[in-house]
Amino acid sequence: MSAEAADREAATSSRPCTPPQTSWFEFLLEEALLEAHLQKPCPDPPPVQLIVQFLEQASKPSVNEQNQVQPPPDNKRNRILKLLALKVAAHLKWDLDVLEKSLSVPVLNMLLNELLCISKVPPGTKHVDVDLSSLPPTTAMAILLYNRWAIRTIVQSSFPVKQVKPGPPQLSVMNQIQQEKELTENILKVLKEQAADSILVLEAALKLNKDLYVHTIRTLDLLAIEPGMVNGETESSTAGLKISTEEMQCQVCYDLGAVYFQQGSTNASVYENAKEKFFRTKELISKIGSSSLHCTIDEKRLAGYCQACGVLTSSSNSTSQQSTPYSQIHCCMRCGNYQELVKIFLEDNRTLSLPVQFRQSVLRELFQKAQQGNDALDEICFRICTCNTVCDVMQGRAIGIQFNQLFLKPNKEKIDFLLEVCSRSINLEHASESLKRKMAAFLKNMCLSLEDLQLVFMISSHELFITLLKDDERKLLIDQMRKRSPRINLCTKPVTSFYDIPASASVNIGQLEHQLILSVDPWRIRQILIELHGMTSERQFWTISSKWEVPNVYGSVILGIKDNLTRDLVYILMAKGLHCSAIKDFVHAKQLFAACLELVTEFSPKLRQVMLNEMLLLDIYTHEAGAGVSGERPPSDLISRVRGYLEMRVPDIPLRQVVAEECVAFMLNWRENEYLTMQVPLLLVQTNPYVKEDIVNDIAAEHISIWPSTIPNLQSVDFEAVAVTVKELVSYALTINSNNHFWLIIQADIYFATNQYSAALHYYLQAGAVCSDFFNKMVSPDVYTDQVIKRMIKCCSLLNCHTQVAILCQFLREVDYKTAFKALQEQNSHDAMDSYYDYIWDVTILEYLTYLHHKRGETDKRQIAIKAIGQTELNASNPEEVLQLAAQRRKKKFLQAMAKLYF
C-alpha cells in the first residue's frame, strides 16, 4: 500500500474515542471557505480562534485497535490542518501583539514550532549556532519570530497575574485548566533556560543588513505543493511579505529592551542596555514612521520605558535624564538636594503633572529618613507635605492626616510658606470659579482652626485671601475670630537644649544604646555590646528596648545563658532578626539569623536547632514574597527542609507553632497534599487555627432595587467587562465628588474583593471620616454597618494587625468575643499592641488580656491592661450614658489613629 493510500485510510477510518474523520472533499471545501473568509477586508469575527481549532484537531491523539492511546499521526489530514493554522497566522501578518492576546502559550508555541518546521529549520538545532545571514530570508524570519516570542513570553510571565474567581466546580473543566497550566509552566521553564541564547540570536539579528521576508498564504501553498524543494521559490528575495531592515530592527530592539529592563531588577547595570535599546527603538520609529503596517510598537509604553531607564541609569552627563520631573526628583533624593526638590514640587503644583501616588511615595520616603534621626528633614517634610496638601485641595481630595499633624504647632514661618504655596499654585487670571472656591474654603478653614489671632491676621490680610473671599465673607470670619476667647499658651518656658548638658559617661552609654537600637548590622551590634560591657558590668542590655521581643519558648533558654555578653548578643540578634522578618526586610533578617546561628553553634545544640528552624521559616517567607508570587516552584532543597521539619521528633527543642503552621501552608500551596496526609501529626492538623469563615465579596450598591436579582443565562454575561466598568465608574464618580461616603464604601469593597486590604482600609476609614467631621462625630450605623466592620476586621487580620482586630470586634452590634480572643492570642502582631489598650472599652476583653499576659509572664503588659480596666469611666455600675460616652470617646481616638496609619 502506498503512503498516500495509507494517509487516506487513516483519515477516513473511524476510531472508538474520536468522531468520524472529515472527508477530503470537506477539507477542500473548508480550506476554500477559509481563504474566502481571510480575503474579507475586515473579517468578523477575527480569525485568530481558527488557529486554535485547527491545531487542536491536528494534535488529537489516536487510538489503535488495542485501545491504546498513540501520538497524533503525521498524515495528510493533520498536515493540512497545521497548514491551515499557519495560513491564518500569515493572514494576520504574524503580528505577535494580536497572536499573544488571543492564543495561549501552548498553542502559540505549537504554531511557531510548525513555522520553524515548514521553514526548514532542522528540529533540535540551537538557533544561536546558526548564521542568520546565510539562511533564506523566510527561514531567518521564522527564527527571529520564535525568539522574539520567547523573550516576550518570559517578560510577560514576570508580571503579576490577577487570580480569576472560580465559577461552579466542573471536574472536566478543572482538569483541562490544570493540564494547560502545567503545560504552560513547562514551556516557560524551557524558555527561561534558553533565554540567554534567544537574546544572543536577537542581538545577532541587529547586525543583519538585508531585508527579510515572512511567509504568506502564497508561499505556504508553494511549500505544500512541492515539499521536496528546499524552500522552493521562497529562497527568492521577492517571495513572501517584505519586512525592511529598519522594521525588523525596531521590533527586535523593543523586545530586547523589555527583557533587559526585566533583568535590571536583579542587576542594575543591565538598565543601561535597556536604555540603549529603547532609545534606538525611538530613532527607528521616527525613521520608518509610526504608520508602518508591519511594525506596531506601543509608543506610550515605550515612552514610559525610556523615562524609567533615564531615571534608573546613573549617567550624570545625559541631558535626557534631566528632561522629566521624575528623573530630577530621583537625582535630588539620591544626592540630598532637598531644597531643589521643594522647588520641583512647587512648580508642579502649577502644572499638576506628577501623579498623587508618586507625590505621596516621595513624602513617605522623606518621613522614613527623618524618623531614622535626620532632624534636618523635618522642615523639608513639612514643605513637601504642604505642597501635596494644596495639590489635594485643588483637585478636590481630602486633606491627609500628615498635614494636620505637622500643623499642630503653627508658627509665622509655616504660615508664610503655606501662603507662598497657595499663591504659586493658582493662576487667578485663568483659574475656574470652582478652583477659586476650593482654595478660598481651604484658607477659611485654616483661619478657623488657628488659635493665635496674629497668625489668623497673617492669612486674612494676605492678597490671595482678599482676592478669593468676598467682603462680607471676610468680615464675618474676622468677627467670629474676635469673639473667640483667648487661650493661654502654657508652653512658654524655654527647654534646655540637649547640647547644653555637659558630656559624661552616662551620655556615652546612652549614645551607644541609641546606636544599638538602630543598627541591624550583626558585627556592629557585637562591637557596641563589647564597648558597653567594657563600661559597666551591671546592665542587662537586652532590656533597653521594649520593642525587642523573642517568643517565650525561646526566651527561657536564651536568658539561661550564663555569660552576660553572649546572652545579650543572642537575644538582640534574634529579636532584631524576627522584627526584620516581620517587616519583610529579609536581607537583614538573614544576616542577623546567620550571625546568631554561628554564635550558638559553638555552645548550644538546642539553640542551634532553634535558629535552623527560624531560618527555614525565613526562607519560606522569602520565597513566597519573591519567586513564589509569579508561580515559580520553590527549590527542591527548601521542600526537603520543610519535610524534614515536619518529620522532626527531637526532644527538648523549643518549637514555635507558627513554624509548623507555615510549613503546612507551604506544602499546601505547592500541592503536596498527599504527603501532608501521610506525614503531618494528626494533632497538628486538628488544632490548626488557620481555618477564618470567609466574608462574601459582594460590592455594595446604593440603589439595590434597580439591580437584577437573577441572571437567566450566566454564560451570556462578561463578568470581566462588568468588573472593569464598575471600577472605572466608581473611580470617575470619586473625581466628581470625593466626599461621597457611599461611593467611598463601594471603592473600598472593590479593593476588598480584589485582596488589596490596605487600600480597602484606607477607603473604609475615609468614608467614615468624611461623614463624621474626621470622627469628631459618631459615624452613622448606616455607613459602618456590621458588614463593613467585619470586612475591616478581616483586612486587619490579613495584615497581621491583631490588636486592631480585637478593638474593631467591639464596634459590632454584638461584640465578637471569639474573634477578639483568637486575635489577641497571636504573638506575631504588626500593630502597636499594648499601646492600643486605651482604646478598649469592653471590660471582658481587658480582663482576658490581663489573664493572657499573666499566663505568658508579660508583667509590663499586664500592668498596662490592669491600668486600662481601672479607669473609673469603665466601671460597670456607671449610668449607661457614661459608659456610652466612654465608648464613643475611645471609638473616636481609635479611628483617628487608624486614619493616621492608612491615609
Q: What is the pLDDT of residue 590?
A: 92
Q: Cite the DSSP H helix spans in 76-230.
A: 76-91, 96-102, 105-118, 137-157, 171-193, 195-205, 217-225
User: Residue 486 — very low, low, confident or very high, per pLDDT cuts 50/70/90?
Assistant: very low
- Grid cell at residue 164: 480569576
630 to each of 156, 582, 620, 633, 642, how far by Cα in Å?
A: 10, 21, 15, 9, 21
Q: Residue 300 above 90 pLDDT?
A: no
Helix H or strand E segment including 609 = helix 605-625
State how far the Cα of 728 lies from the Cα of 744, in Å rounded to an integer: 13
Confidence of residue 497 (pLDDT cuts 50, 70, 90): very low
pLDDT for the residue numbered 163? 57
Secondary structure tally for the chain: helices H, strands E: 42, 4
DSSP string, 756-817: -HHHHHHHHHHHHHHTTTTTTSPPPTTTS-HHHHHHHHHHHHHTT-HHHHHHHGGGSSS--H
- Residue with the bigger pLDDT between 423 and 717: it is 423
792 and 752 Cβ atoms separated by less than 8 Å: no
What integer pLDDT is reported at residue 12 of this predicted model?
36
- Secondary structure of residue 410 in the 3-state scheme: coil
Higher pLDDT, residue 58 or 623? 623
pLDDT attached to residue 16: 32
Provide the phi-psi class of 168: left if phi over 0, else alpha when psi is between -120 and 50, else beta. beta
The predicted structure's pLDDT at residue 613: 92
How much is the average pLDDT of 259-282?
A: 84
Poorest-pLDDT segment among 141-155, 249-263, 681-695: 681-695
71-116 residue pLDDT tens? 777 777 778 888 888 888 888 888 888 888 888 888 888 888 888 8
Q: For strand 69-70 and strand 62-63, is the pairing parallel, antiparallel, or unpaired?
A: antiparallel
**Which pLDDT score, from 0 to 100, does residue 614 have?**
93
CB neighbour list of residue 476: distance below 8 Å, 6 or more residues apart: none
Q: Residues 349, 353, 357, 363: is their CA dihedral positive or negative?
A: negative
pLDDT higher than threshold 50 for residue 9: no
Q: What percent of the chain has pLDDT over 90?
A: 10
Closest among 383, 384, 389 to 443, alpha carbons compared: 389
**How does pLDDT run across 729-778, given as a tens digit for each residue?**
888 888 888 888 888 999 999 999 888 999 999 999 999 999 888 888 88
Locate 160 and state its grid cell: 503579576
Between 248 and 484, residue with greater pLDDT: 248
> Which of 649, 644, 689 lies closest to 665, judged by CA?
689
**679 or 351: whose pLDDT is higher?**
351
Residues making up the chain, counted from first to last: 903
pLDDT-derived band at 245, boundaries 50, 70, 90: confident
Q: Find out whether 608 and 597 touch, Cβ atoms under 8 Å.
A: yes
User: What is the tens place of the pLDDT at every residue in 809-841?
Assistant: 999 888 888 888 888 888 777 776 777 888 898
State the Cα–Cα distance between residues 658 and 665, nearest whole angstrom. Answer: 10
Over the chain, what is the mean pLDDT?
A: 79
pLDDT band (50, 70, 90) for residue 615: very high
pLDDT tops 70 at residue 14: no
In whole angstroms, give the CA distance from residue 437 to residue 468: 7
Greater confidence (467 vs 66) lies with 467
Q: What local confidence, expressed as pLDDT, does residue 171 receive?
A: 56
DSSP-derived secondary structure letter, 18: B
Q: Are 116 and 67 in contact (CB under 8 A)?
A: no
689 is written with which cell numbers? 487555627
Considering only CA atoms, which of 493, 401, 402, 414 is closest in space to residue 455? 414
pLDDT mean over 511-539? 83
What's the confidence (pLDDT) of residue 760? 92
Return the residue matching grid coordinates 472527508: 23
10: pLDDT strictly greater than 60: no
Tens digits of residue pLDDT in 695-722? 666 777 777 777 777 777 777 778 788 8
Q: Given pLDDT bands bounded at 50, 70 and 90, which one contains residue 624?
A: confident
pLDDT attached to residue 617: 93
What is the rounded distance in angstroms from the CA atom of residue 120 to the CA atom of residue 231? 7
- Rg of the chain taking only CA atoms, in angstroms: 34
- CA-CA-CA-CA torsion sign (53, 58, 63, 65): positive
pLDDT digits (tens, 9 = 90+) for 602-612: 788 889 899 99
pLDDT greater than 70 at residue 505: no
- Strand segments, DSSP code E, in 666-743 are none
Closest CA to 380 of 321, 443, 329: 329
Of the pLDDT bands very low, low, confident and very high (cuts 50, 70, 90), residue 39 is low
